[in-house]
Amino acid sequence: MRLTLKIWRQAGPDQPGQLVDYQLDNANEHMSFLEMLDVLNQQLIEKGEDPVTFEHDCREGICGSCGFMINGLAHGQEKGTTVCQLHMRHFQDGDTVVLEPFRADAFPILKDLMVDRGGLDRIIEAGGFISARTGSAPDAHSVLVPKDDADRAFDAAACIGCGACVAACPNGSAMLFTSAKVTHLGSLPQGSPEHTQRVLRMVNTHDEMGFGACSNHGECE
């Protein structure tokens, strides 16, 4: 499979960047998208060029490290699939693929396709927790949680913190991320005492970090 890749190259946070064209002749349909980039990088290194920097770790779609824009879509075109789980069989021989970093002022670019998503951590630090000191917990069965509540909490808690919602949102808003955590903790009886405070503090920090407001565009989901 032959591909033309247009990749955003940027040496550092305050450096100018641009899309650079690369030809890759030996991709194949069994590779994952990141393995395809690995192959490109090996070739660049052998040619004495700087390999493309991108963040990744688990390559199983769970750690949330990976993520960039593929042809204008966060994590590419497959719904519910992170870049590391995207496979090349969804592309065709001869395709041109544009790779850009997630763009938001709250996510400064560190290098090439790698951005700093620390703003999301600040939101959690502001209130995304239940204050329960280690060792103070009562028996796990002392509070029963209806299955539906537990399931709702789980669905919200499954957020992997990848930041794709921010990247996709026309407003650069992290409201989906924020509300996921609020819903997770708020759906559980353990989490309700701190609920109001949590919401205020998390939303405040969300705004302070420079994320945009949500206007329910629905791109983030």
Task: Determine the residue with CB nearest ligand HEM.
Answer: 215
* Closest CB 192 distance from ligand FES, rounded Å: 31
Strand-pair category, 17-24 with 3-10: antiparallel
Interatomic CA distance for residues 51 and 43, integer angstroms? 8
Q: What character string, x for contact with ligand SF4 (CB under 6 A) and - otherwise, covers 143-182? A: ----------------xxxxxxx----------xx--x--
Q: Is 128 in the site for other proteins (CB under 8 A)?
A: yes
The residue (of 165 and 202) whose beta carbon lies closer to ligand FES is 165
Q: Is 215 in the site for ligand HEM (CB under 6 A)?
A: yes
Whether 206 and 123 have beta carbons less than 8 Å apart is answered as yes
The residue (of 34 and 185) whose beta carbon lies closer to ligand FES is 34
Whether 117 and 107 have beta carbons less than 8 Å apart is answered as yes
Identity of the residue numbered 122: R
Q: Scan residues 42-81 and list those touching ligand FES (CB under 6 A).
A: 56-59, 61-66
Half-sphere exposure of 182 (CA within 13 A, CB side): 18
Q: What φ, ψ does residue 57 adopt, rounded to 5°?
A: -155, -70
Size of the site for ligand SF4 (CB under 6 A): 10
Burial class (CB within 10 angstroms; exposed 0-12, middle 13-18, buried 19+) of 221: exposed
Q: Which does 93 bind (CB under 5 to 8 A by kind): ligand SF4, ligand FES, other proteins, none?
A: none
Q: Is 218 in the site for ligand HEM (CB under 6 A)?
A: no
* Closest CB 55 distance from ligand SF4, rounded Å: 13
Q: Scan residues 155-214 and list those touching ligand F3S (CB under 6 A).
A: 169, 171, 173, 175-176, 214
The three-point CA angle 172-174-180 to 5° equals: 155
44 contact partners, CB below 8 Å, separation of at least 6? 22, 50, 51, 52
Interatomic CA distance for residues 90 and 32, integer angstroms? 10
Size of the site for ligand HEM (CB under 6 A): 2
* Closest CB 1 distance from ligand FES, rounded Å: 22
Can you give the binding site for ligand FES, defined by CB under 6 A?
56-59, 61-66, 82, 84
Residues of this chain that interact with ligand HEM (CB under 6 A) are 215-216
Binding site for ligand F3S (CB under 6 A): 169, 171, 173, 175-176, 214-220
